Amino acid sequence: MRTFVLFASLRNHLSRRFHSQNKNQNQYRLLSSRFLSSSSPPSMASSNSSPAVTIDTINPKVKTCEYAVRGEIVILAQKLQEELQAKPGSHPFDEIIYCNIGNPQSLGQQPITFFREVGLSLHCATIQAILDRSESQALFSADSIERAWQILDQIPGGATGAYSHSQGIKGLRDTIAAGIEARDGFPADPNDIFLTDGASPAVHSMMTLLIRSEKDGILCPIPQYPLYSASIALHGGTLGWGLEIAELKEAVGRCRRPRVLAEENQRDIVNFCKQEGLVLLADEVYQENVYVPEKKFNSFKKGFPIYGVTMGSVEKEEVTWRSLGLLPDIREQIYKMASVNLCSNISGQILASLVMSPPKVGDESYESYCAERDGILSSLARRAKTLEDALNSLEGITCNKAEGAMYLFPRVRLPEKAIKAAEAAKCAPDAFYCRRLLNATGIVVVPGSGFGQVPGTWHFRCTILPQEDKIPAIVSRLTDFHKSFMDEYRG
């Protein structure tokens, strides 16, 4: 059957004209011959009852694409959650704890008040000058209201509900560039900044730009984030995760298992890219949460102005996407792709500018801002340590120290009998373990196979994001499950 689509666009039915008949006939022959030469069974071509598109006639790249962090295990979790709501007590746990994805606020983390206040003040300013009223002054801090007016001045016509420049509002990009400059001590060009609706559209754009065929390879250190393998599959490129590890093993050899990259390791990676003629995509969405006092975040741009793209994120709500010294004609092509989607959401653009210009010493909100930020980061560090220690105390589990971000990637040495049982259940041993864990405890973690792991080794990825008061219960549920699992399958 033909995958042949008709757009009935209300947009343009509203005032349209027609091609001449002759022209159409030519087009028709041209198109139909194309379809005759396609692999679709002609029998179904004009069937009345058959669906217009089936699983066999869609883009095969979509079928091969997998996205572990929202894959089978999460769909199972959603099913269990519905069962719990419909029939409380129907499972040995009373809630599902989602440790599959870095989604802090879904697990109770409070947003930073200052950012919210600015956003609120700003939007108040857009309806009947509500912001001028005494009630508003009483509701929001003075500096957030002042900041709201500043930002409103940067938005053409103060139109927060309008499409913006394709790269994002210029004034906001100026603020972001200034913040980057202050951070790195090197100039940042606002025209090199593209604001997108999260990291995913930025990654998709780069894959669209760079991948011509499966001959084009994308190298990801493993464990890689499934967004990369998924988008590489969707765009038909080749994911390489062997080569660069061997190369980088030497490149970053000074530290046996790099976690937070030291500056000299970054330099080695940059040189490696220069020598090999590689584009470097630096995913720098976690800049704030580095827990080890002796290490700090260094952007790749800092001191390494090479041909590459770096992505930063603000509470994972908006991504600042800076092209590092890309050729002007390449930037034009990126601009064109950005234009097709018109622009990213304005609230996210505003938030990005706030994150790169937080309250300063002396501002009314400075103390509370620092207190909230540091409170979140120190709590994350404590949670990471607790979970890491608990995991390392379990039979056959080894877990690296988390020096930043919000994830653990423990390795689990599974007994032969468990691996056999997984084979019998027709799934990967780590997926088998994760499913059993979910069914027994309601804790959702992601099988390591979705991230890439050394063949014959098994891991799972687990966020450290449940609120602190829940961690002890999670630890004991995890411990009890693992003990009984190992007892069941120990040879």
Under the binding rule (CB under 8 A), the answer on residue 375 touching a copy of itself is no
Q: Which of 97, 99, 195, 273 binds a copy of itself (CB under 8 A)?
A: 273
Task: Give the nearer residue to a copy of itself in terms of CB position, either 13 or 87.
Answer: 13
| Residue 44, amino acid | M
Under the binding rule (CB under 8 A), the answer on residue 153 touching a copy of itself is no
Nearest distance from C-beta of residue 228 to a copy of itself, angstroms? 6
Binding to a copy of itself in span 436-465, by CB under 8 A: 451, 453-455, 457, 459
| Residue 151, amino acid | I
Task: Give the nearer residue to a copy of itself in terms of CB position, either 76 or 107.
Answer: 107
Q: Which of 50, 90, 476, 484 binds a copy of itself (CB under 8 A)?
A: 50
Task: Give the nearer residue to a copy of itself in terms of CB position, either 102 or 179.
Answer: 102
Task: Give the nearer residue to a copy of itself in terms of CB position, either 306 or 475.
Answer: 306
Under the binding rule (CB under 8 A), the answer on residue 38 touching a copy of itself is yes
d(CA 258, CA 246): 14
Q: Which of 80, 97, 99, 124 binds a copy of itself (CB under 8 A)?
A: 124
Number of residues in the chain: 491
- DSSP, collapsed to helix, strand or coil, labels residue 290 as strand
Largest CA distance in the chain: 78
What CA dihedral angle connects 425, 429, 431 and 434, to 10 degrees?
110
Binding to a copy of itself in span 154-193, by CB under 8 A: 156-157, 159-163, 166
Q: Phi and psi for 397 in degrees, rounded to 5?
A: -110, 130
Task: State which H helix or E strand residue 223 sits in.
Answer: none
Pairing of strands 397-398, 407-408: unpaired
Under the binding rule (CB under 8 A), the answer on residue 139 touching a copy of itself is yes
- Both tokens of 67, joined, read 């996205």
- Both tokens of 11, joined, read 């947009």
Q: Which of 93, 154, 181, 272 binds a copy of itself (CB under 8 A)?
A: 272
d(CA 199, CA 377): 22
d(CA 463, CA 471): 12
Nearest distance from C-beta of residue 484 to a copy of itself, angstroms? 26
Binding to a copy of itself in span 378-407, by CB under 8 A: 399-405, 407
Binding to a copy of itself in span 63-122, by CB under 8 A: 63, 65-67, 70-71, 101, 103-108, 111, 113, 116-117, 119-120
Task: Give the nearer residue to a copy of itself in terms of CB position, either 347 or 439.
Answer: 347
Binding to a copy of itself in span 328-357, by CB under 8 A: 329-330, 333, 336-337, 339-342, 344-345, 347-348
Under the binding rule (CB under 8 A), the answer on residue 474 touching a copy of itself is no
Q: Phi and psi for 324 in degrees, rounded to 5?
A: -90, 105
Nearest distance from C-beta of residue 486 to a copy of itself, angstroms? 22
Q: Which of 275, 361, 362, 426 binds a copy of itself (CB under 8 A)?
A: 275
Task: State which H helix or E strand residue 33 sits in.
Answer: helix 21-36
Q: At what angle do helices 142-154 and 113-125 cross, to 10 degrees?
A: 60
Task: Give the nearer residue to a copy of itself in terms of CB position, either 153 or 424.
Answer: 153
| Residue 453, amino acid | Q
Binding to a copy of itself in span 191-250, by CB under 8 A: 197-198, 200-201, 204, 206, 208-212, 214-225, 227-228, 230-231, 234, 238, 240-247, 249
Task: Name the nearest CA neighbour of 461 among 420, 423, 407.
Answer: 407
Task: Give the nearer residue to a copy of itself in terms of CB position, either 71 or 181.
Answer: 71
**Helical residues (DSSP H) of 407-463, grouped into ranges:** 416-424, 429-441
Distance of CA 319 to the CA centre of its chain: 9
Near a copy of itself by CB under 8 A, which window of 175-183, 255-263, 417-425, 427-435? 255-263
d(CA 186, CA 484): 55
